[in-house]
A and B are shown apart, each in its own frame.
Chain A
């Protein structure tokens, strides 16, 4: 095991940023560690020091504020799905959390880690993209909020540099009325596996419920980065949330994507063939929720 020699538990954000600065690129932030432990073994990373976010005050909190839901970077996927507000109002995030590995991984893995790890179809990331989440990034000099979508450089490559910066919070706009979200995931088995496809959607209706004001459709893995089906989104905006419109949007989404085949999971053709079904399913569940119907996902 290629363990670093040091493992620090700062209790404040400043301390953590300072530690990163002191180690001059040789230290690295660690949250749940479920991905980093794998990277360590493979020799993909060789830090001299880990700086944990686990015990930084406040980062294990989920805050429901007036305008935003704010999630600390030490919050695990299990915390998310167990949180009453998230469970009731942000289905896409709760269900995406349930899709990550299995419970004993969800008990450790964090949404922040998922984002910084920058895998193109990470379940938490897809949900964050659909929710139009922003990420608070802190280093020794600055603090800034950046849209989660702007952080991806490429598969496994993030614009957040965990040897210099730490993610402290993730936030997304709060909204309960006329809004619905949904999640769909397709895999070679029902749990404990990477997705063949996953899809996170977020739909805002107008007050009458008759018009889609805005929507976000995130799809993976169909591109080297988390993908948004923007043409489908634009198509839906201003239209009624009818079954036919949803069906058409799902077709448009297929046309926008350029998935690759993977011999262990599914071919490009299979992905293309099933994208409409899963987008349609997720969209109609989200619309039903936005209209106040209760449905079960999937």
Chain B
């Protein structure tokens, strides 16, 4: 049925079924991929927001016929790179764009607001944005951006001013312009001629044996090109060291260990055909008993999920005489804390596109944290040499660890390899919930001791990390669990043990703060309980025991980086004390008036070992292009955290040029060198370090060549944008393009490598995962609890974080705010309940309405080895948020809650217990 309407002012007629979602018409019929999709046409995420006659609507729930004769406005209509709308400019300036996936919807919603109300207040902005999820930014910068743009549009002077001084050059995210104009092409936005669509058939049972599989009916369906099962895999049916036990496709005879385990791949002409055919595959299962918790999986008569038993790996740290330590203690305390499965919920759903290029190379465009690793997994499944596979990293709409899982890339590579056609697989949101890794739920038992003066003595920890049905990197988590379990404190004696346990829950894998977050949560809550029992200020307790530079760490070895924990705590102290005073005053008044609200203030610290995955030696290249630009070649995928800009900025600092002078080739295995895996917040420290080295080497090389032409000392050769000149005489400049020509005449390579290498600093370090690089931080939370409903609003969070050196304050603050917001979510609302949680409608990610006031103190205790003094913080900052909030809630209700999320229900239970105990709340 033809429908005529206007898109960004231009008349358009399409001929489609009349209830086709407007979103599909924009993206598929019109190729306007600026408008994104983040859920399965469910209205649950808001990234598809457009304006219909000036009012914001969910385009995924809008039948196209509704638009007949009306005006649709999308991000493409807002402004172009050369002519940005003030909203777009403000989003860039304030750092409101990270992965950029929510950005078009946010911009359009904000436009709808400002067109109607040029002078909105805070609440009105929140009302207009409350339906738009953002997983990266924590919303604060988005709010700021809308305020600034509104002022500008009213003709007022309004510039974004960061409260923190900028070190180095003023800087903007390089890819932000593409993201605010809707030009950035994420994998789901790409199309290729002849592209097929894949769909994975998944097990509907939590635990089942595959008895038989019959694809004959499905194969006959229209559009079906091929149905792939385990037997079709040319190489290894697995993920190598990433996941020891996880097949790409479950073979007949084997067991599928979680709901969502992959069984077969259907490749068809359209996504719908692939979906229909997947349903037509006839699979016979024998359903087996299942368990979801580590406790059940470890029970004596538990069903063995794997023949070797339900424990995957174990690790422990033990030193000192624990019995003696406890004997000498004035107080010992035992606690048990638990956490739940958590989903990354990046707003871009997982998608990957593969094709065979004209040289026969299997080329896979996929989100990843290390393209070379993905390449190897794909190659081994296809029985190819790694060089016959290329991995390209597209713009990524958020990861938080989730997109480190290589299974989708391997699946798509396999589908393209076997059909010799371009194939894309795009997960639905439900599939993303069912098939991608979650955060490991922990069950932690603590026993700690202390002297009356607060000095910590012994610590005994037992941790069960629930990895669900598959390893998915859970094998390594025990190290991180143990590392986090004792924190940045001095202990006399330690016995900490962790094991990874199989269950039939969703597989658990990488998640921001890998493995450390959960044990830090239990430790920092236990310490808070201890402080309370000792009648001691919780900050004093931590200060008293804080690890120092010379200390032997909890792990039994010294620390390899500078330690700023004492500085971090002292920075936090005045604000913490103010929070406490405010809360006391509030509570006194509330009691007086009989109001059912109480405030609570909580504190938590953390240490985080960054940079531990991968090697100690990292490579990057820097090139002087023939046109005088610089090109950086490195591998540090940008999933929204800003590594693209970071690498560019580092090179720009060293080469004293502006960021536009620098081009970046990042994370493409055909073009950029391998810089090691980007887990563990190591991109800034390690890859940034290698880029600095490469840029430094190139700089020297240019100086050597230029000094001849300029007839001056090499050290006097000065860089100034596209020229070099002698320091004394800026007028005597030579264009860098001429220098490049000179390189060529001399036969000198213009592309130069640089290595960041910590091997000399840690000569005995044979186990890269133990690299003793730590950063520290602490946070205080101020919460408001409704005593009648148990509903918690996190009102304020103050963050004190040791950055080493702050290279880009806007970015650092944005990362911190996003991490804090994620922490708010995991502490009070987020939880994947196996069997029940299927999508965003049943998984509660914080909206802008849950945003606390966040105050950030960047503490700078320069790193010893990192480039420009930096440390890795991306994951670390999330770690103290949960325990700080939970401690605050527990103090407000005078009852310990030892399970997250602290849902209204759990909080109300605690309140009821307190009331029964006659405590005066």
Chain A contact residues, CB within 8 Å of chain B: 1, 3-7, 9, 30, 33-34, 37-38, 40-41, 50, 52, 54, 78, 98, 101-105, 107-108, 186, 188-194, 196, 263-264, 266-267, 270, 273-274, 277-278
B62 CB contact (under 8 Å) in A1, A33, A192, A270: A33
Contact A192 B131 (CB under 8 A): yes
A-B contact pairs, 6 of them (CB 8 A): A6-B18, A102-B131, A103-B56, A103-B128, A188-B829, A190-B850
Q: How far is the CB of B660 from chain A (nearest CB, A)?
A: 36
Using known A-B contacts A33-B66, A34-B43, determine if residue A274 contacts B131 with beta carbons closer than 8 Å: no
Residues in A whose Cβ lies below 8 Å from that of B790: 270, 274
Using known A-B contacts A192-B44, A192-B847, determine if residue A4 contacts B19 with beta carbons closer than 8 Å: yes
**Residue B743 at the A interface, CB < 8 A?**
no
Using known A-B contacts A7-B18, A103-B127, determine if residue A266 contacts B789 with beta carbons closer than 8 Å: no
Residues in A whose Cβ lies below 8 Å from that of B836: 263-264
B908 CB contact (under 8 Å) in A4, A34, A264, A273: A273
Rounded to whole angstroms, the CA-CA distance of A33 and B18 in the bound complex is 12
Rounded to whole angstroms, the CA-CA distance of A277 and B908 in the bound complex is 12
Interface string of B845-866 (1 = CB under 8 A from A): 0110110000000000000000
Residues in A whose Cβ lies below 8 Å from that of B837: 264
Counting chain B CB atoms within 10 Å of each CB, which of A78, A105, A108 scores highest? A108
Residues in A whose Cβ lies below 8 Å from that of B133: 192
Rounded to whole angstroms, the CA-CA distance of A41 and B42 in the bound complex is 9
Chain B contact residues, CB within 8 Å of chain A: 1, 16-21, 24, 40-44, 46, 49, 52, 55-58, 60-63, 65-66, 68, 109, 127-128, 130-133, 596, 788-791, 793, 829, 833, 836-837, 841-842, 844, 846-847, 849-850, 903-905, 908, 912
Chain B residue at smallest Cβ distance from A106:
B131
Contact B131 A1 (CB under 8 A): no
Rounded to whole angstroms, the CA-CA distance of A273 and B913 in the bound complex is 13
Residues in B whose Cβ lies below 8 Å from that of A5: 1, 17-18
Rounded to whole angstroms, the CA-CA distance of A111 and B729 in the bound complex is 75
Q: A103-B109, A196-B904 are in contact. List 14 more A-B contacts (CB 8 A).
A: A1-B17, A5-B17, A33-B63, A33-B66, A38-B42, A50-B65, A78-B55, A101-B43, A102-B131, A191-B849, A192-B133, A263-B836, A270-B904, A278-B789
Rounded to whole angstroms, the CA-CA distance of A273 and B912 in the bound complex is 10
B842 CB contact (under 8 Å) in A103, A189, A264: A264
Using known A-B contacts A102-B46, A103-B131, A273-B908, determine if residue A190 contacts B58 with beta carbons closer than 8 Å: no
Rounded to whole angstroms, the CA-CA distance of A40 and B17 in the bound complex is 13
Contact B842 A37 (CB under 8 A): no
Residues in B whose Cβ lies below 8 Å from that of A98: 127
Rounded to whole angstroms, the CA-CA distance of A189 and B840 in the bound complex is 12
Using known A-B contacts A50-B65, A277-B789, determine if residue A107 contacts B19 with beta carbons closer than 8 Å: no
Contact A189 B829 (CB under 8 A): yes
Q: How far is the CB of B565 from chain A (nearest CB, A)?
A: 34
Residues in B whose Cβ lies below 8 Å from that of A194: 841
Contact B43 A38 (CB under 8 A): yes
Q: How far is the CB of B281 from chain A (nearest CB, A)?
A: 19
B849 CB contact (under 8 Å) in A7, A190, A196, A270: A190
Chain A residue at smallest Cβ distance from B594:
A243
Chain B residue at smallest Cβ distance from A276:
B788
Contact B41 A270 (CB under 8 A): no
Residues in B whose Cβ lies below 8 Å from that of A78: 55
Rounded to whole angstroms, the CA-CA distance of A30 and B109 in the bound complex is 25
Chain A residue at smallest Cβ distance from B837:
A264
A1 CB contact (under 8 Å) in B21, B43, B52: B21
Q: How far is the CB of A237 from chain B (nearest CB, A)?
A: 25
Residues in B whose Cβ lies below 8 Å from that of A267: 905
Contact A188 B844 (CB under 8 A): yes
Residues in A whose Cβ lies below 8 Å from that of B57: 104, 107-108
Using known A-B contacts A105-B58, A105-B131, A188-B904, determine if residue A193 contacts B17 with beta carbons closer than 8 Å: no
Chain A residue at smallest Cβ distance from B835:
A263
Contact B20 A1 (CB under 8 A): yes
Chain A residue at smallest Cβ distance from B41:
A41
Rounded to whole angstroms, the CA-CA distance of A108 and B131 in the bound complex is 13
Chain B residue at smallest Cβ distance from A196:
B904
Residues in B whose Cβ lies below 8 Å from that of A38: 41-43, 61
Contact B905 A50 (CB under 8 A): no
Chain B residue at smallest Cβ distance from A274:
B789
A189 CB contact (under 8 Å) in B55, B56, B789, B844: B844
Rounded to whole angstroms, the CA-CA distance of A37 and B17 in the bound complex is 13
Chain B residue at smallest Cβ distance from A298:
B786
Rounded to whole angstroms, the CA-CA distance of A1 and B63 in the bound complex is 11
Chain B residue at smallest Cβ distance from A270:
B905
Rounded to whole angstroms, the CA-CA distance of A101 and B793 in the bound complex is 20
Counting chain A CB atoms within 10 Å of each CB, which of B41, B65, B128, B833 scores highest? B65
Rounded to whole angstroms, the CA-CA distance of A264 and B52 in the bound complex is 33
Contact B68 A9 (CB under 8 A): yes
B844 CB contact (under 8 Å) in A3, A37, A40, A193: A193
Q: How far is the CB of B246 from chain A (nearest CB, A)?
A: 28
Contact A3 B20 (CB under 8 A): yes
Rounded to whole angstroms, the CA-CA distance of A263 and B42 in the bound complex is 20
Residues in A whose Cβ lies below 8 Å from that of B132: 102, 104
Q: How far is the CB of B180 from chain A (nearest CB, A)?
A: 19
Contact B131 A54 (CB under 8 A): no
Chain A residue at smallest Cβ distance from B68:
A9
Residues in B whose Cβ lies below 8 Å from that of A104: 46, 49, 56-58, 109, 131-132
Q: How far is the CB of A49 from chain B (nearest CB, A)?
A: 9
Q: How far is the CB of B522 from chain A (nearest CB, A)?
A: 24
Rounded to whole angstroms, the CA-CA distance of A40 and B43 in the bound complex is 14
Rounded to whole angstroms, the CA-CA distance of A37 and B61 in the bound complex is 6
Q: How far is the CB of A6 from chain B (nearest CB, A)?
A: 6
Counting chain A CB atoms within 10 Å of each CB, which of B1, B68, B131, B829 scores highest? B131
Residues in B whose Cβ lies below 8 Å from that of A108: 57-58, 61-62, 66
Rounded to whole angstroms, the CA-CA distance of A101 and B904 in the bound complex is 20
Residues in A whose Cβ lies below 8 Å from that of B850: 189-190
Contact A107 B56 (CB under 8 A): yes
Q: How far is the CB of B575 from chain A (nearest CB, A)?
A: 25
9 closest cross-chain pairs (CB), A and B: A102-B131, A7-B18, A3-B17, A277-B788, A3-B19, A190-B849, A7-B65, A104-B56, A270-B905
Contact A191 B844 (CB under 8 A): no
Rounded to whole angstroms, the CA-CA distance of A4 and B16 in the bound complex is 11
B41 CB contact (under 8 Å) in A37, A189, A263: A37
B18 CB contact (under 8 Å) in A3, A192, A193: A3
Residues in A whose Cβ lies below 8 Å from that of B44: 192
Residues in B whose Cβ lies below 8 Å from that of A191: 130-131, 847, 849
Rounded to whole angstroms, the CA-CA distance of A127 and B903 in the bound complex is 27
Counting chain B CB atoms within 10 Å of each CB, which of A3, A267, A277 scores highest? A3
Residues in B whose Cβ lies below 8 Å from that of A9: 65, 68
Chain A residue at smallest Cβ distance from B53:
A107
Using known A-B contacts A105-B61, A191-B849, determine if residue A1 contacts B19 with beta carbons closer than 8 Å: yes
Rounded to whole angstroms, the CA-CA distance of A102 and B904 in the bound complex is 22
Residues in B whose Cβ lies below 8 Å from that of A273: 908, 912
